[in-house]
Amino acid sequence: MKANKRILITGGTGYVGGRLIPLLLDRDYSVRAMVRSPQKLLARPWARHPALEIVPGDALDQASFVKAGEGCTNAYYLIHSMNAHKRQFAEADRKAAENMVACAERNGMERIIYLGGLGDKDHADLSHHLQSRHEVEGILEKGRVPVTNLRAAMILGSGSASFEMLRYLVDRLPIMITPRWLRTPCQPIAITNVLDYLAGCLSSPQTTGKTLDIGGPDILNYQNLIDIFCRVAGLPKRVIVSVPVLTPWLSAKWIHLVTPVPASIAQPLAEGLSIPVFCKDNAIREWVPIPLISCEEAIRTALERVQQEQVDTCCFDGGGRLPPEWATCGDADYAGGTVMRRGYRIEFEGDASKIWQAIEAIGGRNGWYFAQPLWRLRGMLDRMAGGPGLARGRRHSQKLRIGDALDFWRVVAHEPPHRLLLLSEMKAPGDALLEFRILTGSLRHVKLEMVSRFLPRGLAGIGYWYGMLPVHDWLFKGILVQIAHRFGASPTKPPDTFPVETELECKL
């Protein structure tokens, strides 16, 4: 254990933070991860490491932020908004950065290490998100605790937003109508190198108080990346037609329809590519000497990880919605509104463990077992309305963990081998939960239940619930039958509905 070195990590459920934590643990640091939803990290394979402490906290709540930093000597600040639909993202970034400063000062920390973005802050076309990154740098630097600012451009790695956008565009479009920013120079960096630089700064005192550019060995443009991806993936070279009318906003809408990357994330990515982003200072290469990974090698490694289903973290992991308060046990039935409930069940003779395998594998490429064209139609409509649709799929074809994106759902409870709870992130006039429960009886008697809960927003939500009820009755009963048939189980009677009592509400 590194003597007296307890490191605070914020943004631990995000793409970078979720990979930095195990790296620091491997290097014998003691780590405290502050997250809004501890259950997300508790599902990770390294969550029980003796040198890791997971604490609840909110970057926008100064009291919880300061408490989380007690006893920590250094902090990684990996929080930033990438959602263009959140109009107050700049204000949120500003407040969170100020709280980071307060946390570091009150706990007498030695240093804050921040991962920001490349791009000339005086450039006329600098995006609002990159402006916010630079503003956060300035806020952190005004505090009494020294700061190390690392600036990166596009990050290449399995599950990164930049890589997912590139992968799906190239896979799905043999001919591309592209904006002019496709030929703007940039300097991508492999996620492995980002992590090495972040961790290396802890043992490199020369980096304290410095703003340092980090990048890979290649300076190229997005069209070069498309050509490299085709070569590595064994795909024919794509035909690219550049037009001047595609703004970052229009590009984001197109990317949203073609790839799993939502427009709210695609827009800041596109805006970041519309100006040159490359390193102007390579001082960090002397202070933290590491072997740099080329773009071709980074893409090859990322593709291998995806094919092997070894994606440690994904751009869809971070953020997401927390379980709604109305789903918590103990609330009165009228708290926050009237919750609509409907239960479906089927009983059969079979192996409960195999039934659980079918439940855990649902969605993504495996489909929803029944009326799949309707699921695809609902996903397409959701995508057109700005939701995730079915495009995100699954991180792993057979395994789930809390926090995983699952098509247009989010896993909020995962209790093998008897309970799975999903929170809807689709566009709808209300909030929805879908729960699978396996109840075992004597011998091989198994009862499988699906419970749908919906908190409507206004009259439109109530109309949606009752209007869709006949469809949901047919759909969910069909899913139950198909799950039973999938492993040769024999239903003892047809599926039916049952009333869901308030006191039996899910426990999160």
Structure tokens at 425: 């992130």
Q: Which of 154, 140, 136, 145 is closest to 108 using CA atoms?
A: 145
> Which stretch, 86-100, 137-151, 319-333, 335-349, has highest mean pLDDT?
137-151
The mean pLDDT of the chain is 86
Report residue 329's pLDDT band, with 50, 70 and 90 as the boundaries.
Answer: very low
pLDDT band at 458 (very low <50, low <70, confident <90, very high): confident
Tokens of 492: 């003892």
Strand partners, 30: 6
Select the more confidently predicted residue: 505 or 182.
Answer: 182
Cβ proximity of 248 and 270 under 8 Å: yes
- Residue in the block written with tokens 């009677």: 493
Segment holding 497, helix H or strand E: strand 490-498
Compute the residue count for the chain.
508
Give the amino acid at 307: Q
Give the confidence band of 335 by pLDDT, cuts at 50, 70, 90: very low
Q: Could you give the CA distance from residue 418 to residue 416 in angstroms, rounded to a whole number?
A: 5
The answer, yes or no, to whether residue 290 has pLDDT greater than 60, is yes
Running DSSP on this structure, what letter comes out for residue 148? E
Confirm whether pTM is higher than 0.85.
no
Distance CA 25, CA 48 (A): 11
Confidence (pLDDT) at 274: 75
List the structure tokens of 172: 């799905």
Please report which confidence band the pLDDT of residue 266 belongs to, taking 50, 70 and 90 as the band edges: confident
Rounded CA gap, 101 and 493, in Å?
Answer: 62
The three-state secondary structure class of 412 is strand
Q: What is the token pair recorded at 224?
A: 């070069």
Residue with token string 């030929």: 183
- Give the pLDDT band of residue 485 (cuts 50, 70, 90): confident
pLDDT digits (tens, 9 = 90+) for 296-310: 999 999 999 888 777
| Integer Cα distance of 159 and 33 in angstroms | 21
pLDDT computed for residue 508 by the predictor: 40
Which CATH fold topology does 325-504 show? Alpha-D-Glucose-1,6-Bisphosphate; Chain A, domain 4 (3.30.530)
H helices then E strands: how many in the chain? 15, 18
Q: Which ranges constitute the DSSP H helices of 361-431?
A: 372-384
Cα separation, 290 vs 282, whole angstroms: 12
The structural domains of the chain, with segments of one domain joined by +, span 6-307, 325-504
Strands 490-498 and 6-10 turn out to be: unpaired
3-state secondary structure of 405: strand
CA pseudo-torsion sign 113, 117, 120, 122: negative
Q: What are phi and psi of 370, to 5 degrees?
A: -150, 135
Confidence (pLDDT) at 318: 61
Compute the CA torsion angle 472, 475, 476, 477 (nearest 10 deg): 120
Contact at 8 Å (CB) between 324 and 254?
no
Token pair listed for 448: 């499988």
Q: Where are the beta strands (DSSP E) in 30-71?
A: 30-35, 52-56
Task: Say whether pLDDT at 503 is over 70.
Answer: no
pLDDT tens profile 157-182: 998 888 988 888 888 888 887 777 77
Residue 346, SS3 per DSSP: strand
Q: Please state the rounded mean pLDDT for residues 87-114.
A: 90
Bond before 470 cis per omega within 30 degrees = no
Can you give 73-121 as a three-state secondary structure string? CEEEECCCCCCCCCCCHHHHHHHHHHHHHHHHHHCCCCEEEEEEECCCC
Write the class of the CATH domain 6-307. Answer: alpha beta
Residue 347 CA, distance from chain mean position: 36
Is 90 exceeded by the pLDDT of residue 88?
Answer: no
Q: Which alpha helices (DSSP H) does 143-179 contain, by range?
A: 161-172
